[in-house]
Structure 1
Amino acid sequence: MSKLHVRYVRKAIEDRFTDLIDMKDKAKVAEKDYVQAFLSRGLAALAVQIEHPCSDRIAATRIFDGDDDRGLDAIAVEVRSAQPRICLVQAKWSDNMKGGFGETEADRMFRGLNRMLDLQYSKFNSRFQQFVPEIEQAFEVGTPKITLVLALMRTAPLDQNTKEIIEEKLAELNQVEEMVDYKVLDLRDFHRAILGDAAAPRIDARVRLDGFVQESTPYKALYGTMTAADLADLYSEHRRGLFARNIRDNLDLTDVNIKIRNTLLEEPEHFWYFSNGITMLCETIKPVGKAVPGKVGDFQLTGASVVNGAQTVSAIHRAYTADPDTAQYGRVMVRLISLEDCPPEFGDHVTTNTNTQNPIEERDFKSLDKVQVQLRDDFALMLHLSYVIKRGEALPAPEHGCSMAEAAEALAATHSNAQLAALAKRDQNLAGLWEDQTYREIFGEAPNAFRVWRSVELLREVRNQLQILRDGLLWRADAAAFYGDLLVTHIVFRRLDTRFIEDPSYHWPRELVKVPDLVRDALAWSLAAIDEEYGKSSHIIAAVRNTERIERVVRAAMRGLDSDRTAPALGEDYQVAEVETRGRQVNAVTTLITNNRIADGTVLEFRAYSKPERREMAEWLAEEPRRSLATWSNGNGNKPLQWHADEGWYSPSGLTKEMRRLASGTVTSAQGTLRWFVPGEGSLDELALAVRLEEGLDVGSEPDGS
């Protein structure tokens, strides 16, 4: 490709995103730098659209490139799909097709990702803050799939050293399972994206259907059986072009794909029965020679595209490539739908609907197990509660029962084998718990309804207590309370008297009252164990999802609890109250003004510091961007901030207090110097401490005025 194609992409960015992408932070830079920044942000917006189809306006709002972007430029979050997905984009524009991304950029990108995983949201700029509620929702639904997208205006591949660094860092993050992956979008991808459907390859092919049946009303369609060999050949010839209209392409690395492939290699004669089949849209379908329904027929397809079953096609090709002698016996049901006489948007409706139907999962088969049926009956007869075993059934109110999935999660957390808690934490669908061996280990042959329900009650109470604690926690402590619910439940359960948990007359509430203190201590010992065993830069999420790590953490935490020692105090960086107190030891405003550390006219950003603030203020701040901005003045005494929302003058703490009151009605003091940031440099607290340390000054003083 040439610079001509670069110009095409540039024009598309200019046409689509001029006046949509926020460039106010670049108003004072040189014209050349302004243009390059705009084009890079436009490239990031295009990448967002490629990964998460949306309008130009929405794509433009997903950009947070600028000071304190932490090596990332844009984000898209999808929480409606079966597995939540977070897409993080780093973009590099180049007029000369040399969009650079090297070891330094890779290191910054992963440090930014690590900050996000450790819930250090205030380390990101104000543009990022509006996405925090979406990110938190994605993690609350389940462990999301995170894709790092390198949007590079180039055609050359990444250099080997950079690729090795990326792979090494991904390996660290994916010790348990594939949580994070990456992809490179280059000039070819962007050129294709701006061409839209016109860039999709036209696939013309001849296929053979065995035992085909024809539908003619209201639209023309055929269905029949194709051999694995024929489908493998079709994929070999056209590759990913076959999936041009498919929403999800072929998802090469998914567990489903692997299972499909293994079925074809191990039980090819059963493949037709186990597979959901394939749906293809075609511009036209013409018989080749005489085609008799119920017999074998050959058909010429024009404009063919697999819109459902991309995973099946890809898996068939891989299996056939690996072992053609075995895979050749596989067959699969194929539907061919002709768009000749269909309404203009009918093909899009087919694509959407065939990809949004709920697939059958392993847990659906377990709902047929006699063990679950018996539990449902026991809950009703012994406990007078509901036990829901089928997906789609209405869930009871918490006080009136639970689902089979919640029971499985609770039993995994309270099992003597801590590894089961890690398995349950890996996937929001609890996929690892429904495998036959694990399922039997959790439920047993005849589970006791009292034990099941009491385990559920314990898990709920632990989560409730952790949620309360999180309001006062920061960074790794907050992450440990968030990700570590099953780990803490496991430890708490082992500290309770559960000898008679299956006895109907056992006074279980007497044990539940111990939970708040145990949760606090178990969390403290667990975090201390993680920090000691794996270091303070290790990932909390890895410790609670890795079967080996969770066992080591549990052993260390239990030793601490059994020792009768006082639970280790959380570090001051981990607690809101401690950091607030530390911040008040420095008269930050006086220090900064006296030393002229911040230039007059500097625009500062507000960033919510704690979970309660994010919860109460996020929507309010997003409604009006000026609420997050204030201008600094060295000549206004202890009220150096002029708030953009009302032009009034405030101290940092006074303004923070007023903002929270306006946002939620909450009236509370807060150390404003921890929340107001000079973009690219740090918080007022950090800047003041740095000044005093440089000058060897005593850090003890009064807080800034309010």
Structure 2
Amino acid sequence: MPNAAEKIAHIEAALRHRFFPLVPERAQRWTVEQHEVDRCSRSLAAYALCGMCGIADATAAGALVDGSDDGGIDALYFDRARQRLIVVQSKYKRPNNADNPQGTGPNQAETLKFINGTKALMERRFDGFNAAVRNRLDEIEEALDTPGVKICLILPFLGEALDVHAKADLDAFVAQCNNLSDCMSAAVVGITQTYDWMVAEQANQAVDVRLTLEKWSSVTAPRKAVYGLVKGQDLAALVTEHGTALFERNIRHYLGSVGVNVAIEETVRRRPEDFFYLNNGITAVTAAITQAPGSADRCVFGLAAFSIVNGAQTAGSITTASLAAAISENAKLHITIIEVPDPADDFAVRVTRARNYQNQVRGVDFAALDPNQERIRQELAAVGIRYHYRPSAESRIRQDDAFTLEEAALALACLAFVVTDGPRRGHRGQNAIDFVVIAKREIGRIWEQEGAIYSNLFPASISGIRICRLVRIYQFIDRILAGSERAETAYDRRMFFRHGRYFIMAFVAHRLPRLIAKAAPGLTAEEEREISQETNHLSEVIFATSRAMQVDRGFLAIFRNLTDAQPLAEKVLLRLAELDAAHNPQPPASAAAPALAQAATDQA
């Protein structure tokens, strides 16, 4: 899971993506940074309304009243369904220490202003408010005239706890208002709550369907299941209505009209009566099976949380065929539906794995069964990034706002670990050289879910924001090195840039740890310049250091074998230390002594 700094970066990226088009700059002579902080603050107020009330972004943005003479109130919304008047004061103070984001909420003076502004609303003293508040007077007065209405004070900010003095004033105000009845509440919306809302919004909703089976039968022990024939046209209608949500537990989505899928489409269109005999059928799991009155020849079943776990290509191909022309009623296929009532039961995963092993699949396909991958997808979806961890037709199209699990795994292998020398191997965690050699020699091993490498690349603690940043850095460096390869005329240098890319990337990460670890999904222009300079510098250092090893082997052999790559890494580390020492010579012994003494004291 993400740390506090990554949650803040996630929130800011999501606010920019969702609300900046709805929250323009004010007509103020502010710096760019002041405008950005102001827009983030107003966007955070709007998003708090989305999280609290489930309203649309545009509706929430329309409820903003922030500005001069706002009484400390940034947004107002009457939630008629729940009889709540939501009053928001948001603060967007970026913490000095993102790992411990305290003091980012409103201070005592700001909280008192908010309290006084709310009092003025309750007492209908509207004259002192700005036009934005007065434009909402009909809504405000409707709320205040509603018996049983509750005034909910909401304080979103980039922290978790309110200042102790501000909290005391707020608690006293709420207690005073609740003297007769429970008519007011106050809630802090910290970064964890905001982050959780944003991620939860991206979860796929369970699909409940009704499906007609013909010539069906069932088993009841040890698990309930039904099986029979389903019409291709009924299956196509389900896919058209629910899309990829129908394959939530599958390892792949529909891959498009490629390979065997073309043959499936042809059979459905031209020989529908043969389809049952030529197709393996599909398998699905469901949380509950309910049966309507029927017969063994035909019966309608209600299927809760229905998901096709094997047969995405068949279902997708039938749907594609249906777009060209109506499918014959004679096109039928076998379906097995297994009831798995408990979401925590891993039997559904076992069914998916077993049924798909009968097909031609890759190791990366089974990574889709890791729930961690769905969490990462949801995190990235909240900031406008599409993460394809299931193979699909869409995932093969390169887009700026999307990347795949394969790209993520490569970026993590090249950039997420420390380069260590021989004596310290095994004592400082995973060594980057191990990963880049494996990526060069056997790339499929880095995304095999059952392997030890996969769990190191995708631990439960990793965040979508960190993965996105590493992918962006990986892509940027890869473009630089690809350009260097194209520009070279000497064969050995072309081969160096072709086969040494992962190795070079590991050293870029080694030399720029703060830039690599920064909690931000993308790169600034200044960061790109720094990465570009370091990449070109390290490329020359590594190339020069590797020349002695080239006597009896080529660069492909060097970079795909640990027995060559690790000694090269240690020589590069030594060379970089020499260059650093030459560039930053040590001060005289007398000047260095106090610093050494202090270091010794600190360690004691």
* TM-score normalised by L of structure 2: 0.33
Calculate the TM-score normalised by the size of structure 1.
0.29
Q: Relative contact order: is structure 1 or structure 2 higher (C-alpha 8 Å, sep ≥ 6)?
A: 2
